Amino acid sequence: MTAPIAARRGVTGGPVLVVVVTAIVGFLLVSQFRNDERLSQRLEAESEEDLARILANLNTEADSLRDEIGTLRVQLADLEASSRNDAAAATAGEEQLHALQVLAGTVPVTGPGVVVDVADPRASVTYDILIDLVQELRDAGAEAVAVNGHRVGVASAFAEGRSGGVTLDGVVLEAPFKVLAIGQPATLEGGLKIPGGALDTLSALAGVTAQVQRSPKVDIPALASPPTLRAARPVGSGS
């Protein structure tokens, strides 16, 4: 007896739910109809002048809404353009900062370039020749240069050591010399092989040999002691 009762309950639940939903929908439709009917009765009670005024007000509100929508669209377009410009300016600023850091030598650099090996068993190479070599690499477009693992920065200085030889920023450079440069390998090599340039000068020295090799990857470290820079500040009117 229990099973049939449960079955009857499952069957009658569906129609009851349908009746309830139908009643709710009917109530909403009747309410909407009544509201529309009241509105129609109110409008029928208005005079032609009042109806014209109401219509004019509605048109004015519609025009105002369209103007506001247009203004908001312009503001949205301006905000989107400003956002894109800000992003582009930020990217350009980051690229410029990185370029300045590379130029100053404060960050390590990796890229294609050349390797110049200079053998000098008789200590014939002087600091001014290395300066010419580095300068020719710079003129050929080298972004970063290092000699024997020491970065050459914008404030770096080659000099003659106390007991002879060459120093770079106070560090003694011992032969053989290995000069690394990052840039377009073909351009850098071509710049070094200009007749009468640094390579010809090195090759003319007693016992000195210099070879240039292109490399797809050259690693150059940052400066061991980055320079301390001072920035000018405006003086206040009261000073």
Helical spans, DSSP H, in the chain: 2-45, 48-104, 127-139, 185-192, 198-203
Within 10 angstroms of residue 221's Cβ, the number of other Cβ atoms is 15
Q: Which pLDDT does position 149 carry in this prediction?
A: 94
pLDDT at 117 over 90: yes
- How far is the C-alpha of 133 from the C-alpha of 212, rounded, in Å? 12
Nearest to 106 by CA among 230, 231, 229: 229
- CB-based contact 189:212 (threshold 8 Å): yes
Mean of pLDDT values over 135-164:
91
Mean of pLDDT values over 122-139:
93
Query: Would you state the torsion angle of the CA atoms of residues 204, 205, 209, 213, taken in this order, to the nearest 10 degrees?
Result: -60
Query: Which run of H or E residues covers position 196?
Result: none
Q: Which pLDDT does position 178 carry in this prediction?
A: 97
Residues 6+ apart with CB under 8 A from 217: 110, 111, 112
* 89 — pLDDT class (breaks 50, 70, 90): confident
Q: Which pLDDT does position 121 carry in this prediction?
A: 93
**Phi/psi at 215 (5° precision):** -140, 135
Q: Which pLDDT does position 9 carry in this prediction?
A: 44
208, with CB counted inside 10 A (0-12, 13-18, 19+), is: buried
* 12 — pLDDT class (breaks 50, 70, 90): very low
Q: Are strands 144-147 and 150-152 parallel, antiparallel or unpaired?
A: antiparallel
Residue predicted with more confidence, 76 or 53: 76
- CB-based contact 17:10 (threshold 8 Å): no
Residue predicted with more confidence, 147 or 40: 147
Instruction: Give residue for tokens 């090996």.
Output: 117
- How far is the C-alpha of 203 from the C-alpha of 210, rounded, in Å? 6
- Mean pLDDT of all residues belonging to the chain: 79
Residue predicted with more confidence, 216 or 11: 216
Nearest to 176 by CA among 219, 94, 119: 119
Mean of pLDDT values over 48-67:
72
* 116 — pLDDT class (breaks 50, 70, 90): very high
